[in-house]
């Protein structure tokens, strides 16, 4: 499970920003429902929500973790390949500095810390550590491009690591178990929602029946689901088939009696319904995964009705859920729902274009509940500065 993630010099984050899912010390509210005990001294949150104005940097936080995942699981293939480098753009110095990502997570009772820094052409620093007691043991490392710590028996593998490639990928390829564990966490346990559901589970009747039950519970009239193998043809003549999900609806006659069923492809239903389907499948698959999942959703719940979303927050933070959900949202009303003070993050951008990420837990004298009105009143910042008169003037043809 994710403990925390830190990004530096990535998109609008010039300075280091940390999203921590470690439960805040002293917060007793909904301990059983909203947190999971990792060790005797460490509990993590099941859900975190990032609020803020449009363009404030909410999406960049999740994009950073997604970028880290991309670089771990999709390595460069040759020495001339560029790395996906997106430094802070609004000053003169940052474009020449490294982007840095660091993640702490727990898997199988072990806490790992993995970090790397890079430019467009090379990986500058990289380190994998594992917690031992109150400290961390370094398993492998490179500093300023030089390999400084190499696991026993992997000298040959280390010598083959290109400047624009990660040691982690090379070492998992050589069956180094800690590297395999980290690679599997990124590739299997870190789930990123998009506009379409993954193909996993679509051919399973039980999964589809669970999905229909989920959709019915959030107020949908869907009677069931089905899947079809759809042929995809390319211009070069090649083709393949993929499973596509269909939603089943009942058909009625003039008297209201059911006379049959109709199947609609997912592409033909509303955006909100598609978001519910994608989320529902991810939650169902997470419950039966070998390890707890960390699900990232960047505004992929925006079209869901607030009543259904409030119920989903209760589900996210229930004993029945054993995974984590990290979301960005523009729905302030969620602050009045099933969230603790340490589950709320605020993204705000200053006049220099620099984003900051702050936990509501870090503000002084914040009540355990009831901060929605304080947020709307501007106490915590992270609110858009809307000038209605200027907006009207911009469209006034007489000015």
CA distance 321 to 226: 25
Same-domain check for residues 202 and 186: no
Q: 2-8 and 99-107: which strand pairing? A: antiparallel
In a domain, 295, yes or no: no
pLDDT in tens, 279-289: 999 999 999 89
Question: Counting Cβ atoms within 10 Å, is residue 66 exposed (0-12), middle (13-18) or buried (19+)?
Answer: middle
For residues 364 and 21, the answer to whether their CB atoms sit within 8 Å is no
* CA distance to 217, 222, 331, 397, per residue, from 307 (Å): 12, 18, 12, 40
Q: Is 144 left (phi over 0), alpha (psi -120 to 50) or beta?
A: left
Neighbours of 122 (CB within 10 A): 15
Q: What is the pLDDT of residue 399?
A: 62
Same-domain check for residues 188 and 204: no
pLDDT in tens, 174-203: 999 999 999 999 999 999 999 888 878 888
Q: What is the pLDDT of residue 238?
A: 81
pLDDT in tens, 362-388: 988 787 777 888 888 888 988 888 888
What is the full DSSP assignment across 234-285?
-TTS-EEEEEEEEEEEEEE-TTS-EEEEEEEEGGGS-HHHHHHHHHHHHHHH
pLDDT in tens, 58-102: 999 999 999 999 999 999 999 999 999 999 999 999 999 999 999
In a domain, 270, yes or no: yes
Residue 396 has pLDDT above 90, yes or no: no
For residues 261 and 248, the answer to whether their CB atoms sit within 8 Å is yes
Same-domain check for residues 216 and 338: no
In a domain, 206, yes or no: yes
CA distance 317 to 389: 41
pLDDT in tens, 5-59: 999 999 999 999 999 999 988 888 888 899 999 998 899 999 999 999 999 999 9
- Average pLDDT for residues 147-155, to the nearest whole number? 97
Number of domains forming the structure of the chain: 2
Same-domain check for residues 57 and 186: yes
In a domain, 397, yes or no: no
Residue 158 has pLDDT above 90, yes or no: yes
For residues 323 and 295, the answer to whether their CB atoms sit within 8 Å is yes
CA distance 368 to 240: 53
In a domain, 398, yes or no: no
Same-domain check for residues 265 and 304: no
**Token couple for 362:** 């870090």
Q: Using the 8-state DSSP alphabet, how is residue 22 labeled?
A: B
* CA distance to 55, 211, 222, per residue, from 217 (Å): 34, 10, 10
CA distance 105 to 185: 9
Same-domain check for residues 39 and 66: yes
Same-domain check for residues 36 and 168: yes
3-state SS class at 390: helix
Q: Which residue has the higher pLDDT, 138 or 206?
A: 138
Range of the domain at 365: 1-193+300-390
Report how far apart the first and last C-alpha atoms of the chain are (Å, whole number).
56
The closest of 391, 368, 366, 397 to 380, measured between CA atoms, is 366
CA distance 34 to 338: 9
Same-domain check for residues 34 and 65: yes
Same-domain check for residues 56 and 166: yes
Neighbours of 30 (CB within 10 A): 16
In a domain, 395, yes or no: no
CA angle 26, 27, 28 (to 5 degrees): 105
Percentage of the chain beyond pLDDT 70 is 99
Q: 344-349 and 355-359: which strand pairing? A: antiparallel
- Average pLDDT for residues 119-130, to the nearest whole number? 98
Last residue within a domain, chosen from 250, 267, 289: 289
Last residue within a domain, chosen from 239, 269, 289: 289
**Token couple for 309:** 């979303």
The closest of 170, 145, 140, 168 to 156, measured between CA atoms, is 170
Q: What is the pLDDT of residue 61?
A: 99
CA distance 321 to 107: 17
Same-domain check for residues 178 and 201: no
Same-domain check for residues 280 and 346: no
In a domain, 230, yes or no: yes
User: For all residues of the chain together, what is the average pLDDT?
Assistant: 93
The closest of 318, 349, 315, 344 to 331, measured between CA atoms, is 344
Residue 398 has pLDDT above 80, yes or no: no
Same-domain check for residues 233 and 375: no
Strand ranges in the chain using DSSP code E only, listed in sequence order: 2-8, 17-20, 35-37, 43-45, 47-52, 99-107, 110-118, 123-132, 135-143, 146-149, 190-192, 224-233, 239-252, 258-265, 294-298, 324-328, 344-349, 355-359
The torsion of the CA quartet 309, 311, 316, 318, rounded to 10 degrees, works out to 170
């Amino acid at each position: 499970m994710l403990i925390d993630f830190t990004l530096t010099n990535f998109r609008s984050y010039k300075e280091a920003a940390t999203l921590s899912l470690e439960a805040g010390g002293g917060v007793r509210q909904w301990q059983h429902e909203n947190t999971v005990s990792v060790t005797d001294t460490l509990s993590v949150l099941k859900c975190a929500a990032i609020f803020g104005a449009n363009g404030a940097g909410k999406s960049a936080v999740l994009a950073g973790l997604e970028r880290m995942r991309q670089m771990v699981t999709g390595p460069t293939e040759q020495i001339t390949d560029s790395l996906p480098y997106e430094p802070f753009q609004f000053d003169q110095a940052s474009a020449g500095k490294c982007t840095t990502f660091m993640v702490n997570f727990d898997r199988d009772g072990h806490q790992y810390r993995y970090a790397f820094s890079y430019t467009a052409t090379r990986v500058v620093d990289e380190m994998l550590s594992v917690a031992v007691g109150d400290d961390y043991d370094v398993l492998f490392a490179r500093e300023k491009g030089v390999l400084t710590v190499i696991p026993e028996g992997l000298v040959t593998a280390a010598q083959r690591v290109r400047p624009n490639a990660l040691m982690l990928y090379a070492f998992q390829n050589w069956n180094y178990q800690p590297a395999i564990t980290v690679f599997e966490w990124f590739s299997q346990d870190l789930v990123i929602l998009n506009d379409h559901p993954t193909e996993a589970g679509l051919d399973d009747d039980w999964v589809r029946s669970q999905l229909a039950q989920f959709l019915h519970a959030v107020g949908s009239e869907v009677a069931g689901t089905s899947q079809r193998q759809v042929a995809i043809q390319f211009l070069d003549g090649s083709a393949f088939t993929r499973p596509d999900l269909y939603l089943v609806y009942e058909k009625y006659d003039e008297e209201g009696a059911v006379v049959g069923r109709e199947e609609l492809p997912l592409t033909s239903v509303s955006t909100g319904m598609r978001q519910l389907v994608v989320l529902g499948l991810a939650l169902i698959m997470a419950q039966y995964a070998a390890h707890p999942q960390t699900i990232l959703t960047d505004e992929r719940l925006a079209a869901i009705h607030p009543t259904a979303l409030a119920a989903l927050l209760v589900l996210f933070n229930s004993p029945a859920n054993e995974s984590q959900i990290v979301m960005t949202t523009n729905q302030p009303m969620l602050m009045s729902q099933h969230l603790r003070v340490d589950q709320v993050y605020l993204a705000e951008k200053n006049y220099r274009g620099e984003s900051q990420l702050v936990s509501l837990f870090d503000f002084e004298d914040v009540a355990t509940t009831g901060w929605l009105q304080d947020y709307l009143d501007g106490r915590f910042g992270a609110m858009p500065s809307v000038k209605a008169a200027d907006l009207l003037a911009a469209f006034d043809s007489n000015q």
